[in-house]
Structure 1
Amino acid sequence: MLYIVLVLVLAALGLLVAALITANSLWAWISIGVSVVAGLLLLFDLLRRRKKRAPVEESADDSAEDASDETESAEGEEKKPEDAEQTVLMPATGELGDAEDTPEPQRGGDPGEEKSAPEDVAIVSELETEIVVVDEYPRYHVTSCEWLETRDTIPLGIGEARQLGFTPCALCTPDAEIAGQHREKA
Structure 2
Amino acid sequence: MLFVVLLLVLAALGLLVPALTTSGMVWAWSSVGASTLAALVLAWDWWRRRPGDPAADTQSVDQHLAADDHRVVEPEDAGPPSADEEPPEEDTDAADLLVVADLVDEVRVLDERPRYHLSSCSWLAGRPTLGLPVQEARQLQFTPCAVCTPDRVLVRKSRAVG
Letter in 2 for 1:124: V
- Root-mean-square deviation (CA, aligned residues, Å) is 2.5
Q: Report deviation, 1:129.
A: 0.6
| 1:147 aligned onto 2:123 | yes
The answer to whether the 8 Å contact 1:133/1:154 transfers is yes
- Whose relative contact order is higher, 1 or 2, with alpha carbons under 8 Å and at least 6 apart? 2
Matched, 1:120 2:110: no
Compare 132-141 and 102-111 and name the one that shifted more: 102-111
Question: CA, structure 1 residues 124+104, in 2 after alignment: closer, same or farther (shift >3 Å)?
Answer: same
- Aligned with 2:108 (options 122, 126, 132): 132
From the CA coordinates, give the structure whose radius of gyration is larger: 1
- Partners of 2:75 and 2:87 lie apart in 1 by 8
Q: Find the counterpart in structure 1 of residue 84 from structure 2.
A: 108
- Among 143, 156, 162, the residue aligned to 1:180: 156
Structure 1 residue 107 displacement after superposition = 6.2
Aligned pair count reads 94
TM score, norm. by length of structure 2: 0.52
Stretches of structure 1 lacking an aligned partner (at least 5 in a row): 1-91
Distance, in Å, in 2 between the alignment partners of 1:154 and 1:99 is: 31
| Structure 2 residues without counterparts, runs of 5 or longer | 1-60, 65-71
Per the TM alignment, residue 105 of structure 1 is displaced from its structure 2 partner at its CA by: 1.7
Shift of 1:104: 2.6
